Amino acid sequence: MNTARKTPNGSGTSYLVAPTRAVVADGTVFAYRELGAGHEVPVVFCNHLAATLDNWDPRVIDAIARERRVIAFDQPGVGASTGTVRDTVAAMADDARALVGALGLDQVDIVGFSLGGMVAQALALTHPRSVRRLVLAGTGPAGGRGIDAVAGVTFRAMARGALTRVDPKEYLFFNRDKVGKQAARGFTHRLQERGTDRDTPITVAALRTQLKAIKAWGRAEPADLSRLTAPTLVVNGDRDKMVPTSLSEDLHRRLPDSRLVIYPNSGHGAIFQYHDQFARDVLTHLAAPPTPPRRRP
């Protein structure tokens, strides 16, 4: 779909109608969507477990694209991208770097959510010159306690969703109180707003492979995060049941240059529950002048 629609405030093309494009890198055809303009360094979005291009909240993407060029993509074997789903976070990071190179980009800012935040960490550690700034949302470090339990949490939510005919993300991403349920319904409704050129849903086999990668990440030796010098915004909800909130606090403590934001009364999907605030926090972080790294005890 090549037509464009203005966002509600008339400030640019909406993610809801951004065309799905393709670029070839290392023999893989990557599906991606791009919108926005402005800063010379684009913002690349790395997605969560079981997610395709259609799983990014358009309110988040549109708000950031008003000031920045935004690129979202499908990993190999996911959605409309060809190739094989990777079973390690390191391989996923290499694929993300291949995409960045295929698009002719020397440096990017990265917003990584959940699994995407793990990929973002690995990419920034292995290709530090490619990453200017990071946003790590609802994620944790290699070896983080509880990450290897994500599979069990996910399958229980999928079963519950099937029984109640509710999108499992409502159970995985949001608290089950009145506020959380309202936020969940709003989020899942927004994900259905794109009417045409929708992405191909992820397969069960691909989901299982991604879960294998997350489990291995959770059981890996901790990385030396003192080497990750890109200024980083770490965000989460105060009651994340998928990737425990304590791991966001751990990331913040271990990163040389980071800021921590914990959104109240929210879970794994806090960035969608607080989509307006999250977008403002991201834009502020990406535009902030460099600061001297904190001294570690």
Q: How far apart are CA 96 and CA 228, in angstroms?
A: 17
What is the C-alpha to C-alpha distance for residues 236 and 205, in angstroms, rounded to an integer? 28
CA atoms 215, 220, 225, 230: torsion sign: negative
CA–CA separation, 30 vs 22, rounded Å? 5
Q: What is the mean pLDDT for each group of 10 consecutive residues in the chain (297 residues)?
A: 32 84 96 90 97 98 96 98 97 97 96 98 96 98 95 92 92 96 97 96 96 97 95 98 96 97 98 98 92 56
- At residue 5, the pLDDT reads 33
Amino acid sitting at position 4: A
Tokens coding 223 = 């990385």
What pLDDT is recorded for position 11? 38
DSSP 53: G
User: What does R_g of the chain's alpha carbons equal in angstroms?
Assistant: 18
pLDDT of residue 32: 98
| Nearest alpha carbon to residue 139 among 110, 117, 122 | 117
Q: In the chain, what are the domain boundaries?
A: 20-287
Euclidean distance between CA atoms 297 and 253, whole angstroms: 10
- Give domain 20-287's CATH superfamily: Alpha/Beta hydrolase fold, catalytic domain (3.40.50.1820)
CA distance 43 to 112: 10
